[in-house]
Every structure is written in structure tokens, then in C-alpha cells.
Amino acid sequence: MGTAKQTGPSSGGRDRPDATASALPVELRSVSKSFAGIKVVSNVSFDIRPGEVHALMGENGAGKSTLIKIMAGLHQADEGEILVNGKAVKFASPKDAHAAGIATVHQELLLFPELTVAENIFLGQTPKTGAGLIDWATMRRKARDLLNSLDSHDLDIDQKVASLSVGNRQRIEIARALAQDARVLIMDEPTAALAEADVQRLMAIVRNLCARGVAIIYVSHRMPEIFALANRVTVLRDGQHVGTRPVTEVDEAKLVSMMVGRSIDRLYPAKQGTDGDVILELKDVSHNRVVRNVSLALRRGEILGLAGLVGSGRTETALTIFGITPATSGEILIDGKVTPIASPEAARDLGIAYVPEDRGQQGLIKAQTIEENIALANLKRLMRGFFVDARRVTDEAAKAIARFGIRARGPKQVVRQLSGGNQQKVVLGKWLATNPRILIMDEPTRGIDVGAKAEIHLLMRKLAGEGMAILMISSELPEVLGMSDRVLVMSGGTVTAEFTKAEATAEAVGAEMTRTRTPEIAA
Amino acid sequence: MMSARLLRHETILAVLTVIALFVLAMLSDKFFTGENLLNQGRLMSEVGLVALAMTFVIVTGGIDLSVGSILGLTAILLGVFWKYLGLPLPAAIVLAMACGTFAGWVNGWIITRFNVPPLIATLATLALYRGLAEGISEARSVRGYPEWFFFFGQGEVLGVPFQLWILGIATVIAAVILGLTPFGRATYAIGANEVAARFSGIRVNATKLWIYSAAGFLSALAAVIFVSRVTTTRSDMGTGLELDVITGVVLGGTSIFGGRGTIIGTVLGLILIQALKNGLALSGVKGDGTIVVIGLVLIGAILVGALFDRNRGG
Amino acid sequence: MSASASIAPPGRSAFQRFLSGYGQEIVVFLSIIFLFVVVGAINPRFLSDTNINSIFAGNAYIAVAAIGMSMIIMAGHIDVSVGALIGVIATIAGTLAVNGYPVWIAWLVPIIFSMAVNAGVGALVAYTRIPSIVVTLGMLSILKGGLISATAGAWITNMPAEFMIAQMRPFGIPSAVYFMVALTILASFFIKYTDFGRSIYAVGGNMEAARAAGINPERVVVGVFALHGFFAGVAGILFATQLQVIQSTVPPNLELTVITASVIGGVSILGGTGTVIGSTLAAILFACIGSALIFLNVSAYWLRAVLGLMILATVLADMARRRRAK
């Protein structure tokens, strides 16, 4: 991500001549959609030209996903019409959308783990023999050709998808779209879970597709990618169409203000207070082969940023500190004393809190209420005799709702119904209620809209100012640079560099992140 | 919010139970007599005890198919320890129950240590424990227990069958643990999202081990009561028990996917089943016709619950 | 697996694909061979025609039922009522035959009945989202209770000779074996070479993804249950006609034997994977073990304990393999 940032508008597939209006692969006219009486998409019109990358931006809840699903045939528009090649169409199911040449690469990749690569590419439209049976020979040959055309010669078409990496799975989804002769490819946050090398590869593939005349609808939060790839940008806010602009006519600040409806002048709050003593120290800590001889020190009142690519060992280090995957060698010191941490329970009782990267799976029980979630890490404290004190559970949740400004009907609202930002605040509320001294935050603002993001950043600063030691892991370089008092870079399971706030520039940290030190890990 | 939904299911169930009791009382004048009801309670106790533990198991998102086999194995061991090894009967009882509890612990150990899906793990131990019971007993039954032993299955305290007291006490304990203690909260959390529970510092594996061991213990307790009630020990005792138990629990509103369920619901489910069995038998439906009704009630109750959920937009 | 994966060739040889695709099946097959060799060496009577006949012909109906069960589990569901269904089918078939209906009616009507019942179960599972274990638990009660109360446990005897299809021996081999082999091959072929067959894996592996790929998962689930009904129906006919009497009760533990055969044959209980060849081999393996114990003078009382240990060992090995794969 760091290196991609500066490439600028030199990339290919940009200066494509405008197509004539009748050949537009997709045009939306005044499309609206409501759920349970609430208008989620309201009167949106824009068009896609052949061979262009059309970025679709907006905060979470702005209506991007719904719009994509309408184009993919998963939802039907209440009002307005969709035109394909100038003709109005109605998509009753994804099948209809496929038939019209619109394919989607979903955010959570929709593949079948126990089927082979070739089958995944052709599922739903397998080549048949004269007798109507699946023609495996043709299918395998075609799959091979398709992957070769995407420069993915290394993918084994007979391998089951279960054992493949995210980047490889994404390539299979793209190949599947091509197998459907897609003329429009919708990519929903394609780089959200990718390692840097895979991001570069994806961008090359996107340019390759554009050169063939495939139009791409590219949904992403990541500005560098938008500026590196897109020809035009469409911004949504609260279901409304704010505007569609050529990418050359906007800049980052302009896009942000279009998305949030106001300009955010100071994204990152300044440091408060000074650093205290070292509270947590790791000495040559390892866990199997994923964490290797990690040494670091964390002080009271500081935010220590942990940068690195996905798979570099950042999250794995956090899991080791938190006792999920206890250290297999090395020492963890708390307040200067050697303290083995064998379980999350032990870590919590030592005053360590971990706000995990996967909010839905690891952070919250979405089917339970706010108060049940907050109580879960604090059960021992909320007891009266042998029993859980229901009133104190409710009080604790009410306190958290007030303190963090969680927008909810009350402590008994089910967490599933909250927005991403408010869900993240519930996770924070749960852990801050344990009165931790060390707070580990893994991707603290992933999938959160710009407004809530700023609130969480402000809160982190405030906590640090009050003496909390914060270890922050983030894949967003601007966040790492903007929030951290110090930055450690990890690669191949170990810490490879340390930067002070002054030294930590995008170029320096980005270069350090992408330098592969231990190639044997990749094998 | 969640408890409101649970209460709703239990309300439906309670109303259903009352209607069933009323209709059955109309159909047969023998049904609503104290003697008959107490006797039904006696018959319900064994399934009921196991169902209490099964509620915990299913709330964690698991299942235990081996409870009937644990019952059979405990019964056989009880007989063998006493008759063939010559242990004093009280010692034989304690030792056999310890073995039954251990069998439950083994289930939990396989499930937590090796990550085996509970359905599969307990399918395997269902065959294994029943097989051990058959192998050890070699189809010999044990009889001739001393008179005092029959008190557990046939005796009365204050006019109420002894095992009904046991069931009552166990029910209260189970309801309190599931509803009011951190252990209960952990049980629900594990069923709703095991990963998040672990990341919140809940001791997931320890909790599950306790629960599966408790299922073993209560199955063993049911075995002692069963042997005492029928005065003999056979290796096929408890065959099919798991289905009765699971039916009761699921009918009681516990979600088979985990995360939801209450002891009160389970007890209501058990009462409804037992009342139907007995009432229909009294009103002249042949013995096995009642099983059909139970199957229909199970599917019907879940169906209604599912439609309710959908209408609420959940 | 490890060798071929690390080299990562663009396409593997047919032999490599065979090895990686049928790992579990090969293990089960080798176990059968091993049993025959070892037990045959210890007690040659194990290899006698009569015994081999009874192993294969006597258990063919379990293998046939396991084919349908495998598909159900591949699609991410389960059916605990199959034993009761087989009992009901056998009784219906026997009753029709004894009451003078043409044999083809006595064979076909129960199969159609079985498909209809299971299609209904499938529809309940697919459209109301009630878990299949709950629905089939209810069906188990209904079928079991219905059967016993309808027949009062009476035995059916004096069935016409031409009805006894499982006892016919074209070319000296019991016809039940033909059914087992033919249906296994047919089902494998169906799963491998038709869109419906592949969509079973797709629905079992990732239901929402299947929907997005244009598959109608509900229809697939209903179809799979109906197919399972067909196999259970055939199994019921074989079961009804292999002996001179039909006991008109639910064969004890049959559903567990069938489910176990599927699981040991390599069908993951988590859905989305497995083959029917494996389940048939596993059913044969079970029968062999049962017979082998007798010929090794191990008390038949220990048979089930051995089976239980086997299931446990297979499952643990499977979990270990999965963990290593990750």
C-alpha cells in the first residue's frame, strides 16, 4: 500500500476515448431502493463506459453495497431503471445479471472450498459434452487458458480452493467473471484483505482487463488505489448521489468532503501528556514459526504503531501477548517482572485488553445485546455472591453507551443492529470496562466510516493521555503515521525496523514494510 | 430483547401444555388424578435428568448422542461391580457413576482437544459405550438387588416419588446455573460465538468439559434410578434415550444452533411430551401411536417458532 | 498432497489427481484388502464363498442407503430417520406383495413413497430453515410409531418367490451386489458429470455463494432429499427381500450404521466434500470387520465396541489431516 500511494496518474488504461452513448455497458437512471420503509438508495443515476475503472465511494451505510447488489441482481430496484447497452433490463436473480454481462467479485469471496479451481471458475455454466454431461477436459483446458491470460500461470487448476490464499481466490473469482464473458466487473473492496504483493498483482490485472474493454466498478476506501486506477469517481452519501467526477478533477480532501458532507481539516489528534515507564516488554518472544524473536517495549501513555503487511506477524504477536497463542519461547515482562501469559483470561487479569481485527467473529457476539457483550469480559467483577448482578450489568452498559457516545436504543439492543462504528465502540467499551493498563488495538478503524473513525482516534489519544499504553496494529499507513508516537515495522514474523515519530515518513515505513527479509517464510 | 423472544417461545409452550393437559383430562377421567400424574413424573425423571444437561450441551452449540449409551454402560457396570466383582452395592453405585461421568468427560475431551464436531464425536462414543456395555455384559442381565436399593426408583418421600425430588432439585440447580451465574453466561456466549467468547477471556474448553462431564454424570444418575425402578440390569438400557431427550430440549425452545434456550423451556417440553404419551395411551391410542404424535408436535412446534421469528423480521 | 502442492504444477497428472481426490477411499479399500489377507490367512473359512456372499449381499442395502446419506451430508444436512424409513418401506413392499399386487408395483410404490416423504422433509428443511436434524428426528418418531401401530409388530411371511429380488442370483452373484455396484457407479457418475451433482458440493460448501452463482439452493436440497429417498427406497426393497420374513419393526441402529459408513468413507460431516464410492467401501469394510471378528473367535458382543473405536480413530485421523493441511 505504501508504495502504491505515490505512483500517481501515470498508469495505463486512463486516456481511453469516450464511447458512444448507445454502447454504455451499464447505465443507472434514478434508481431507488427501500428496506422496511427506509430509503437506502435514493434516485441515483450514473453510467459506466467500456474499459474504464469507475470508482464507487462513500461512507459505510451510504448505499454502495445495496447499489452493487441491485446491479448484480441480488436486490431489485423499487424505482428507476437499469440500462444495458441502451436497453432497459430487469434482473430477477444473479443469473439475469450474469446473462447481461455483469459479474461481481464479492468482498467475502464466494467460492466453494471443496471444489477445484477449474470447477469454481465454471460453476453454473460448465462446458458440456454432446450428451449433456460435464466436459471435464474442456473445462480444465479453458480454465488453464483463462488463468494464463490473467498471468496466473502458477495456479494449479486441479487444486481444491480450500488450500488457497486470499489473493489466489480473488484471481479465481476474476477468472470466473471472465468465463461469463463479463463486460462489467464489480469489485467490492478487492484489496481489503490482500497483502501488498497481491495488491500490486491485482492492479496489474485490473489494467489488463480494462485494456480488453472490460469496465470495472471499483468500490474501495483506499484513496491511493482510487487515484492510481480510476478514470472516474462516483460518490454516494446517505443513499444520495453526490456526484460523478473524472479523477483528475478531484483530490483526496475533495473526495472526503464529498463523502462526509463537510471537510475534515484535522484527521489525527495531537499527542497529549508525556510517556511514562515501560509497562510491557517482550524479549525474544516466539510462537512456533509465525512469531520469531520479537522484542519490543511499550510505555505508559504512548501509542506504539505496529506496521507491516498482512501475514508479517503483527496480529500473531498481539495474539501471543494476549495468550491466545502463548509464547513458545522468550520472555514477556510486565512492570519489569517476567510474566508468562497462558490464556486470554490470564492476559485480561493482568490488565491487558485486545480489540481484535475481526470485529464480527472475534470481537462481538452479534446475536447478543450490548450489555451481554460488555459483561462478558467483566463477569467476575459484576457478581454478587455466586450470581451475575443483572442491574450492574445494565448500569455498566449504560455507562459505556454514554461515555463513548454509542448510538443505540439502550443497553438491551442487539449488537447486530448497530453500525460498524458503534459496534467497534461496544468492543472498546467491553475492554475498557476491565480497567486495562495495556490496550492492543488491531485494525481499530477497519470498515468504519470517516466520522466514527475520527471519534475513535480522538478516544485513543485521550486514553493515552490518561496513561494507557496502546499498541496499535494497522494496515492503513496514514493511520499508522498519524496516530503513532513510535512505529515498529514487522516482516517475516519479526521486528525489522523502528522509527520515531519524526523519522516515520510514508516512504521510509512503506519501503521497510515491503522489503522481504525472509523469503523462506513465503514457501 | 433476547430474553423477550425466549419468553415468547416459552409462553407458547406453556399455553400448549395447558391446552394439552385440559384436552387429555377431558378425554380420560383417569388422567388428571394425583396418582397418575405422580406416576408420570416417575417415568419422566430419567429423561428429565439427562435433558437438563443436554440443554447446556445444545446451548453451547453441541449435541450429545451418547447419553443413552452412557446410561446403558453405567447400568451394566453397576451390576458387574456388585455381582461379579463382589463390591458392596453402595461402592458399586459410586464407582459406576464415576465411570459414567468419566465417559462424559471423554466426550468433552475428544471435542475440545481434537476439535471433532460433537455430532460425530458422540456418534462414535454412542457406538463405543454401547459396545462396551454389550461386551462386558455378554448379554447377561443382573438381578437380585437388595430391597433397599429399590427405594431410588420406586420409593416415595412425602407421597412424592423419590426420583421426582431428585429431578426437582436438579432442575432448580440447573436453572440457577444457566440463568444467573457466570458459567451460564459463558455457556450462552460459547453457543452464540465461540471465538468471541474465547477472545473475551472465557475459558471455553474448560466450560465445555464441565458440561459434557455433567451430561455423563446425569446419565449415570438416571441409570441408577432406572435400574432401581425396573429391578434389573440389561445392556440395551437407554437405547434411543438421546432422541427423547433431544426432542424435549428442542421442543423446549433451545436452538439447535446454540446460543439460545432455557431450563424452564426444557421442563415444559418434557412435561408436554410425557402428558401426550400418557394421555393418548389412556384415551385408547395404541402405545406407539403416541410416538407419531410426539414427532408431529416436535416439527409443528419448531415450525411455528420459525414462522414467528420470520414475521418478527429477525 | 504435500509433495504435489509444494511443486505447484499448472496441472497435475491424471494419476496424481486420482491420488489426491480419493485419499480416504484408498485407505478404506486397502483396509478391506488387508482384512481379507490377514483374516483369511488365520482362518481360511473367512474366504469361503458363503462368507464372502454374506458379507457383500447381506450388507448391500446398507451401502445403497449410504449413497443417499452421503449426498445428504455433502449438501450439509443429515437424516437420522433413514433406518425407520427403510423399515416402513420393507413393510409396505411386503404387504403389497403378499396381498397379490404385481411385483413391480410392490417394488415401485414403496420407492415412490420414500421419495415423496423425503422430498417433503427436504422442502421443510430448505424453505423453513428448520435444521435437518430436528426435522428428521421428528420423522423418526412418526415413521417408527406409525409402523409399529399399523402392524402391531406382526411379521410378514409367505411372500411370492418372484418378489424376492435380493435373493435372485444372475450369473451366480446375488442381485443385491449388482444393485450396490451399479448404483454406486451411477451415483458417482451423476455427481461428477452433472450440474446437479456438482451443485450438491456447492450448496454444502457455501450456500450463499451457490445462490450468487445462479444455483437455487432450496431446489438442490429438496432434490437431494428426494434422491436420498430413492436410495433408501431401493435399500428398503433389498432389505425386505433378502430374508424369508419381514419383521415389520425398525431395524435397530440402522441410521447410525448408514451415517457412519458415509463418514468413514470420507464424507465430512461439515458438508461440501466426500464421494459415494467411499461410503460404499466403508459399508463393506464394516461388514468385513463384523465377519472377521467372528472368524477370529472374538465374541460378537464386542463388535459394536470395535466399530465405535474405528469411527473414533477415523475421525481423529481426519481432524489431524485437516489440521496439517492448514
pLDDT recorded at residue A73: 85
Instruction: Please say whether the beta carbons of A317 and A367 come within 8 A.
Output: no
Are the Cβ atoms of B131 and C306 closer than 8 angstroms? yes
- Rounded to whole angstroms, the Cα distance separating A419 from A406 reads 10
Q: Does A144 touch chain C (CB under 8 A)?
A: yes
Kindly state the percentage of chain A with pLDDT values over 90: 26
pLDDT recorded at residue A294: 93
Instruction: Please say whether the beta carbons of A400 and A394 come within 8 A.
Output: no
pLDDT recorded at residue B90: 93
Instruction: Identify which of B36, B70, B35 has the alpha carbon closest to the alpha carbon of residue B159.
Output: B35
Q: What angle do CA A484, A486, A487 make, to 5 degrees?
A: 85
Treating both helix axes as pointing N-terminal to C-terminal, what angle do C217-241 and C49-74 enclose, rounded to 10 degrees?
160
Residue B125 one-letter amino acid: T
pLDDT recorded at residue B11: 81
pLDDT at A511 over 60: yes
pLDDT at A393 over 60: yes
Distance from CA of A211 to the nearest CA of B (A): 44
Q: Which of A65, A95, A114, A141 to mutate to test the interface with C (most CBs of C within 10 A)?
A: A114
In this predicted structure, which of A41-45, A414-418, C16-20 has the lowest mean pLDDT?
C16-20
Rg value, chain C, Cα: 20
Q: Which of B137, B257, B288 sits opposite C131 (nearest CB)?
A: B257
> Is B313 inside a domain boundary?
no
Instruction: Identify which of A383, A421, A384, A382 has the alpha carbon closest to the alpha carbon of residue A404.
Output: A421
Q: Which of A112, A144, A163 sits opposite C205 (nearest CB)?
A: A112
Mean pLDDT for the stretch of residues A163-186: 81
Closest-CA residue of A relative to B195 is A362
HSE (side-chain half, CA atoms, 13 Å) at A86: 5
Are the Cβ atoms of C315 and B298 closer than 8 angstroms? no
Report residue A157's pLDDT band, with 50, 70 and 90 as the boundaries. confident
> Is A35 inside a domain boundary?
no
Q: Which of C134, C269, C323 sits opposite B120 (nearest CB)?
A: C269
Instruction: Quickly count helices (H) and strands (E) in chain A.
Output: 16, 22
Q: Which of C11, C192, C273 sits opposite A140 (nearest CB)?
A: C11
Residues A114 and A223 in one domain: yes
Domain count of the fold of chain C: 1
Report residue C2's pLDDT band, with 50, 70 and 90 as the boundaries. very low
- Rounded to whole angstroms, the Cα distance separating B190 from A359 reads 16
Instruction: Identify which of A338, A324, A333 has the alpha carbon closest to the alpha carbon of residue A296.
Output: A333
C208 lies in which domain range?
Answer: 43-284
Tell me the per-residue pLDDT of A137-155, one tens digit each, with 9 for 90 and over.
888 888 888 888 777 777 7
Domain edge (last residue) among A426, A446, A464: A426
Rg value, chain B, Cα: 20
- Rounded to whole angstroms, the Cα distance separating C127 from A212 reads 42
Q: Please, what is the average pLDDT of chain C?
A: 80
Residue A471 parent element (H or E)? strand A469-473
pLDDT at A11 over 60: no
List, in order, residues 6 or more apart from A247 with CB less than 8 Å away.
A9, A55, A226, A227, A230, A231, A232, A233
- Rounded to whole angstroms, the Cα distance separating B248 from B251 reads 5
- Rounded to whole angstroms, the Cα distance separating A226 from B209 reads 51
**C-alpha cell recorded at residue B169:** 432439585
> Is C213 inside a domain boundary?
yes
pLDDT recorded at residue C15: 65
- Rounded to whole angstroms, the Cα distance separating B212 from A423 reads 33
pLDDT recorded at residue A508: 81
Residue tagged 447410525 (cell numbers): C256
* DSSP assigned state of A78: S
| Beta-strand runs (E) in A350-416 | 352-355, 383-384, 387-388
A380 lies in which domain range?
Answer: 366-426
Assign 3-state DSSP to chain A and report helix, strand, coil percentages, each to 5.
35, 25, 40
Q: Does A522 touch chain C (CB under 8 A)?
A: no
Mean pLDDT for the stretch of residues B102-126: 91
> Is A69 inside a domain boundary?
yes
Residues of A in Cβ contact (< 8 Å) with B184: 388
Q: Does A102 touch chain C (CB under 8 A)?
A: no
Q: Please, what is the average pLDDT of chain A?
A: 82
Domain edge (last residue) among A207, A236, A260: A260
Residue C227 one-letter amino acid: L
Tell me the per-residue pLDDT of A17-60, one tens digit each, with 9 for 90 and over.
444 445 788 888 888 888 766 677 888 888 888 889 999 887 66
> Is B21 inside a domain boundary?
yes
Are the Cβ atoms of C145 and B239 closer than 8 angstroms? no
Mean pLDDT for the stretch of residues C225-243: 90
> Is B219 inside a domain boundary?
yes
Q: Is the dihedral of CA C196, C202, C203, C208 positive or negative?
A: negative
> Strands A232-237 and A53-57: what pairing?
parallel
- b vs e for A249-285, b when ≥16 Cβ sit within 10 Å of the residue's Cβ? ebeeeebbbbbbeeeeeeebbebeeebeebbbbbeeb
Mean pLDDT for the stretch of residues A112-133: 82
Report residue A304's pLDDT band, with 50, 70 and 90 as the boundaries. very high
Q: Which of B180, B182, B199 sits opposite A356 (nearest CB)?
A: B199
**More reliable by pLDDT, B109 or B293:** B109
Residues A248 and A274 in one domain: no
Q: What angle do CA A95, C127, C256 make, to 5 degrees?
A: 115
> Is C17 inside a domain boundary?
no
**C-alpha cell recorded at residue A54:** 469507475
Instruction: Please say whether the beta carbons of A393 and A371 come within 8 A.
Output: yes
pLDDT recorded at residue C3: 37
Residue A363 one-letter amino acid: G
Residues A298 and A205 in one domain: no
- Rounded to whole angstroms, the Cα distance separating A225 from A211 reads 18
Report residue A310's pLDDT band, with 50, 70 and 90 as the boundaries. low
Instruction: Please say whether the beta carbons of A292 and A271 come within 8 A.
Output: no
> Is B124 inside a domain boundary?
yes
Q: Which of A347, A367, A376 sits opposite B202 (nearest CB)?
A: A376
- Rounded to whole angstroms, the Cα distance separating A125 from A181 reads 11
pLDDT at C260 over 50: yes
Residues A63 and A188 in one domain: yes
Mean pLDDT for the stretch of residues A495-503: 89
Mean pLDDT for the stretch of residues B241-268: 88
> Is A24 inside a domain boundary?
no
pLDDT recorded at residue A516: 47
CATH assignment at residue A57: 3.40.50.300
Are the Cβ atoms of C205 and A94 closer than 8 angstroms? no
Alpha carbon of C223 to those of C68, C86, C217, C281: distances in Å?
Answer: 11, 19, 10, 25
Residues of C in Cβ contact (< 8 Å) with A95: 214
pLDDT at A293 over 50: yes
CATH assignment at residue B202: 1.10.3470
Residues A346 and A378 in one domain: no
Instruction: Please say whether the beta carbons of A490 and A308 come within 8 A.
Output: yes
Tell me the per-residue pLDDT of A327-340, one tens digit each, with 9 for 90 and over.
999 999 999 899 99
Residues of C in Cβ contact (< 8 Å) with A186: none
Q: What are phi and psi of B238, to 5 degrees?
A: 85, 5
pLDDT recorded at residue C1: 34
pLDDT recorded at residue A445: 85
pLDDT recorded at residue A406: 87
B44 lies in which domain range?
Answer: 2-308
**C-alpha cell recorded at residue B67:** 447419553
Are the Cβ atoms of B295 and C270 closer than 8 angstroms? no
Bridge partners (DSSP) of residue A296 are A282
Report residue B96's pLDDT band, with 50, 70 and 90 as the boundaries. very high
Kindly state the percentage of chain B with pLDDT values over 90: 47
Distance from CA of C261 to the nearest CA of B (A): 12
Residue A470 parent element (H or E)? strand A469-473
Report residue C264's pLDDT band, with 50, 70 and 90 as the boundaries. confident
> Is C13 inside a domain boundary?
no
Mean pLDDT for the stretch of residues B111-120: 88
Highest mean pLDDT among B25-34, B198-207, B238-247, C47-56: B198-207
Are the Cβ atoms of B243 and C135 closer than 8 angstroms? no
Residue A279 parent element (H or E)? strand A278-287
Mean pLDDT for the stretch of residues A467-473: 94
Q: Is A477 exposed, middle or buried (0-12, 13-18, 19+ CB in 10 A)?
A: buried
pLDDT recorded at residue A6: 38
Q: What is the dihedral of CA B150, B154, B156, B159, to 10 degrees?
A: -160
pLDDT at A74 over 80: yes
Q: Is B314 exposed, middle or buried (0-12, 13-18, 19+ CB in 10 A)?
A: exposed
Residues of C in Cβ contact (< 8 Å) with A104: 212
Residues A132 and A164 in one domain: yes
pLDDT at B238 over 80: yes
Mean pLDDT for the stretch of residues A265-289: 82
Residues A206 and A279 in one domain: no
Tell me the per-residue pLDDT of C122-159, one tens digit each, with 9 for 90 and over.
998 888 877 888 888 888 888 888 888 787 777 877 77
Instruction: Please say whether the beta carbons of C120 and C142 come within 8 A.
Output: no
How many other CB atoms are found less than 10 A from the CB of residue C112? 12
pLDDT at B263 over 90: yes
> Is C305 inside a domain boundary?
no
Rg value, chain A, Cα: 25
Instruction: Identify which of A492, A502, A506, A520 has the alpha carbon closest to the alpha carbon of residue A308.
Output: A492
Q: What is the DSSP string of A225-239?
A: HHHHH-SEEEEEETT
**Count of A-C CB contacts under 8 Å:** 82
- Rounded to whole angstroms, the Cα distance separating A316 from A355 reads 13
Tell me the per-residue pLDDT of B62-75, one tens digit each, with 9 for 90 and over.
999 899 999 999 99
Q: Please, what is the average pLDDT of chain B?
A: 87
pLDDT recorded at residue A434: 92
pLDDT at B312 over 50: no
pLDDT recorded at residue A297: 93
Are the Cβ atoms of A126 and C211 closer than 8 angstroms? no
> Is A519 inside a domain boundary?
yes
Q: What is the dihedral of CA A38, A44, A49, A50, to 10 degrees?
A: 20
Distance from CA of A152 to the nearest CA of C (A): 9
- Rounded to whole angstroms, the Cα distance separating A394 from A375 reads 9
Residue B250 one-letter amino acid: V
Secondary structure class of B261 (helix, strand, coil) = coil
pLDDT at C185 over 50: yes
Kindly state the percentage of chain B with pLDDT values over 70: 94
Residues A412 and A381 in one domain: yes
Residues A153 and A123 in one domain: yes
In this predicted structure, which of A148-157, B248-257, C10-19, C230-239 has the lowest mean pLDDT?
C10-19
How many other CB atoms are found less than 10 A from the CB of residue A36? 6
Q: What are phi and psi of A337, to 5 degrees?
A: -105, 135
Kindly state the percentage of chain A with pLDDT values over 70: 89
pLDDT at C72 over 70: yes
Residues A275 and A422 in one domain: no
**C-alpha cell recorded at residue A283:** 524479549
Instruction: Identify which of C322, C303, C300, C299 has the alpha carbon closest to the alpha carbon of residue C311.
Output: C303
Domain edge (last residue) among A210, A231, A260: A260
Residues A318 and A371 in one domain: no
Bridge partners (DSSP) of residue A216 are A53, A185
Are the Cβ atoms of A93 and C194 closer than 8 angstroms? no
Residues of C in Cβ contact (< 8 Å) with B110: 312, 316
> Is C5 inside a domain boundary?
no
- b vs e for C287-321, b when ≥16 Cβ sit within 10 Å of the residue's Cβ? bbbbbbbebeeeeebbbbbbbbbbbbebbbebbee
Domain count of the fold of chain A: 3
Domain count of the fold of chain B: 1
pLDDT recorded at residue A408: 85
Instruction: Please say whether the beta carbons of B64 and B30 come within 8 A.
Output: no
Tell which C residues from 7 to 66 touch B, by Cβ distance under 8 Å.
none
Are the Cβ atoms of C213 and A114 closer than 8 angstroms? no
How many other CB atoms are found less than 10 A from the CB of residue A290? 18
Residues A477 and A507 in one domain: yes
pLDDT recorded at residue A295: 92
pLDDT at A93 over 90: no
| pTM of the predicted protein model | 0.80
